Structures are given as structure tokens and as C-alpha cells.
A and B are shown apart, each in its own frame.
Chain A
Amino acid sequence: MDAIRCEILAKGAEAVIFKEIWYGIPIVRKVRMPKAYRDPRLDRILRQRRTINEARLLYDARKLGVSVPAIMDINLDDTYIMMEYIEGVRLRDILNSMRHEEVKSIMKRVGVMVGMLHVNGIVHGDLTTSNMILTESGNIFLIDFGLGMHSDDIEDLGVDLHIFLRALESTHTQITDICFKSFLSGYERIVGNEMASRVVDKIWEIRARGRYVSPELRK
């Protein structure tokens, strides 16, 4: 086949992410790598399950109209997913230098997207601004559902938002409040006041357990 040019975009604990050009189209190939510490047979089962899980979440999110990369191929023998390459900048890299009005509008839209996922029982699992891409046309894409799952348990949804808030606190310290407030206004509009307040209450409950708070944030 005609795979041209191959570069490593990221190397995570679980997977390696390649960028490739197929027939002139840029794509992303996410390959789940074997773990030496696992029995090879179990390792295979787990990598296959997770590949399917991620593909299913991406597919379901897209069906809801949430902007996520389109899946092009999934291979369970080599445990990889091939998907659309999203051209743009990570929110992580630009949010701090944006005007507050712009930050608010972007975060509100992120809130709407996550609200759509949550109200339909999809947990992203790693909501950080590194996993949000702003395209030139002004669209926001959510990427990396590798730690995601299907669940409508308030605890799981609460953890999802807790992780997001923690990411804001550590990478967007100066604008955390503006970001999270705007995020919640969008989130609330989709899930409704009642569910939103239940999930937000859960965040504080999770934090009160203490051990989830990262050492830097513990006073």
C-alpha cells in the first residue's frame, strides 16, 4: 500500500501515535503496544478490548454530532486504529494568550460537547486541554478516548470533570475560574441544572477524599 512519510506524534504509556500520509491524506495511526509485564495472551486480550472500546466511543461520539476524528480503519491483529488527522492547535498551547471573551466562548462550547457526551453516557476519561484541538475554521475537536468508557454513573462523570478541573488548575492557573465557569454554563445547558449540580457536587466529594488531589495543589 501507499503509506508515505511516517512520524511519531506522541508516545504514551499505552500507545504510540504515528502520523502518516495515505494517498495524499494525512492520517493518525494509534498503535497499542505490548506490555512486557503482562502475560502475552492476556496482553493481547486487553489491547484488543481497548482498541474496540476506543473505536466504539469515537463512533458513538461522532454519531451524537460531537466533533471527534473519523475512524478509517481498525485492526485487531496489530491493535491499531487509523483515524482522521485533525489539523489545528491544541487549546493547551493557546488558551493562556487569548482574550478572556474568546476563552469564555471556547470553554462554553467545550462544555456543550462534554455535556452531549455525558448526557448520552459517554465518559471521555482524560479531559485536558491537550486533548482539545482548535481548527483553522474555528471548530473544536475532542481527541484521545483511550481512557474513556460508557457509563452514566454520576461518580464516573464527576471524576471526568474533576480531571478536567485539575488540568485547568495546573496548566491554566490564571484563568481557571473563567474557564471552568464558562465550561459549566455550556455543560449545564445540555445536561440540565439538576444533573449538572449533582455532577459538580460529586467533584467536591471526590476532592474531599483528599488522596486524588495532586501534591502541588495540596495546601
Chain B
Amino acid sequence: MAIIVLGIESSAHTFGVGIARGDGRILANVYSSYIPRYGGILPREAARHHYNVAHKIVIKALKEAGLNIEDIDGIAVALGPGMGPCLRVGAFIARILAIKYSKPLIPVNHAVAHVEIARLTTNAKDPLFVYVSGGNTQIIAYSHGRYRVFGETLDIPLGNFFDTLARELGLPQPGTPYIEMLASKGKNIIELPYVVKGQDMSYSGLLTAILRKFKEGIPIEDLCLSAMEYAYAMLAEVVERALAHTQKRELVLAGGVARSKRLQRIMKLVAEEHDAIFKVVPDEYAGDNGAMIAWTGVLCLKSGITISPEDSIVRQRWRIDEVDVPWMQ
């Protein structure tokens, strides 16, 4: 019998529960997202949302999979990176389930989970990952026992850049699709700072410069077009270098911003230039979700990675390159 793991995700705005089986099948993927009335995510408000929906979402996931909690072999939870108050909800629910039903508790790194669900759903073996979301922007590849970072943002993540920009321009959240829509109507590329330092990119200067141009009365369509092209070009340049350096033959786009059609086209061109196959995580597994935690939980459990409830503290800045991934050997 293949093992079955229930996974809980709560690192930011989404509380999600997924159920995955040892053979790679996702049996359930249920979630509820907190939407701020205005401004960005307030961690405590998001946490309150998570507490309110947690019970319902767990039940719904079990129902979707047609399982009882007794059928589950382990409880996986994202312990980081993410927002403390949000992460603590998931950890709390996971500990309760693990203790009450005597199931092993499995610590999962949120970034590893994004990468693993992308690998599972695209059938990639050992790719270079471009992981872009509201909370993270990293270029990642496996090497010597761990996923290593071959480039990342020095300040704000790409998704956060688009969200903040959208908010300042008076557009709805999440910002990326709206920016992309307006960008398609843009006519001019304006002069803006382009900051790549070695293998890292910086988006905060770009954001400030665009907002200044907004006040100067530059059309919003041109601002969106320029913002997107500069931001993606910076990322693409670093990805290109990482591909040349690591010699990986696959390029996989993961994380919430992977849904961007323009970004997909750009990454496809970068991959083609380096004779790599381009793949992108399916939309339903692009944003934060419980299924990715469950699936990574399966991989961990098979490698004997568990944690005692007493030790299962959340780690807001838990980096992907601090995590051993023995199943990749």
C-alpha cells in the first residue's frame, strides 16, 4: 500500500490542506484565502482567518479524498519560511492532529514544497527552478544533497513588487494579472533602473522609480509595460547565467507568478537558447497550496524525516538551502 500524507499550508494569505499518496497522486487540494480589505496582508488578520477556516478545510479535504483521518499515515506542515502568526496556525493544527491521532508529524519547508510539486506535476527530473511568488524570488537547482540558490532578489520578491505597484496605481490584488493586462496596452518603454548584481536582482529601486514616473503623469499602461519588461528581463538574465553555469537540461517555472503568460514566454525563449526543455507548474499548484506540502511530506516520510511536536517550532526565515533532500540522490 502506498503511504498517504495530509499536508497543511498556512505561510501567508492561504490556508490550504492537501492529501497526497506515495505513488504521486494528489487526492485532495482544498484551500481558503484571506483577502485584505485594503493594503497588504496583515499577518494577524490572516492568522485569524486561518483559525476560522482550518476545521472546515481539513474536513473538506478528507471528504474530497474519500478518506477518514485514520487512513492518513502522516501529518505534514509548512514550518517556514513565511509570516510567523500565519505559520503558527498551521503548526498548531498539525500538532493537534498528530498527537490526537498518533500520526508522525513531518516538517516541510515551503520553498522545497513549491519545487517538489512543480517537479511532480511537470515530470521534470533535475531541472533549474525559477521560483517566483509574493514572498520569494529564487533561482534554484539541486546539487550535493540540497537545493541550492543560484540567484535571488536582494530586497522585495517579484510578486510583492507587482502587488505593491498595483496597489499604488489603484489596481486590485493580487497585482500581477492586472499589471500584465494593462501592459498589453502599453506603447512605450520608459528609462528605468535595471539592477542585477552578480547573480542577484534588486526590485526596490525599480519600484520607487516607477512610482515617481506615475506622479509625473506617464500613462499607466506604459508604466505597467515597462515595469513588467524590466522586472522579467532582470530575472531572465540571471536565469540564463544559472543555466549556463549549472548545465541543467530542464527549466521549470514555479510559484504563484508562474501563471504570468508573459513570464512563461520569456522563460521559454531563455530555455530554448540554452537547449533546455521548458516546463511550467499547472495553475492549480502554482500558488500556495496544501497538496505541495502533502506531497513533500510523502517524500520526507519515505526518507524517515519526522519531527516531534515539541520541536516543531516555526521558522520565518527558513532558507531552502538549509534543508537536506535525501530523496534527490
- A-to-B contact residues, CB < 8 Å: 13, 35-39, 41-43, 45-46, 49, 156, 159, 210-212, 214-215, 218
Contacts and interface: CB of A to CB of B under 8 A. Distances in A.
Contact of A13 (B189, B199, B240): B240
Task: Report the 6 A-B pairs with minimum CB-CB distance, sorted nearest first.
Answer: A37-B269, A41-B189, A39-B229, A215-B143, A211-B149, A42-B229
Given A38-B236, A159-B198, A210 B273 contact: no
B48 to A, nearest CB: 36
B194 A211 contact: no
Contact of B273 (A37, A45, A46, A212): A37
Contact of A49 (B143, B194, B229, B321): B194
A49 B270 CA distance: 21
A43 B229 CA distance: 10
A13 B144 contact: no
Contacts of B240: 13, 37
Interface in B229-280: 229-230, 233, 236, 240-241, 244-245, 266-267, 269-270, 273
Interface of A is mostly: loop
A210 B143 CA distance: 12
Given A13-B240, A215-B144, 13 more contacts: A37-B240, A37-B273, A38-B229, A38-B233, A39-B189, A41-B188, A41-B189, A42-B189, A156-B197, A210-B321, A211-B149, A215-B143, A215-B148
A211 B197 CA distance: 15
Most buried by B among A36, A38, A214: A38
A211 B270 contact: no
Contacts of B225: 39
Given A39-B229, A39-B233, A41-B189, A46 B269 contact: no
A43 B189 CA distance: 10
Nearest to A41: B189
A36 B269 CA distance: 7
Nearest to A162: B198
A218 B244 contact: no
Contacts of B191: 45
Given A13-B244, A38-B229, A45 B189 contact: yes
B144 A218 contact: yes
Contacts of A13: 240-241, 244
18 contacts: A13-B240, A13-B241, A13-B244, A35-B236, A36-B273, A37-B233, A37-B236, A37-B240, A37-B267, A39-B189, A39-B233, A41-B189, A42-B229, A42-B233, A43-B233, A45-B191, A211-B321, A215-B144
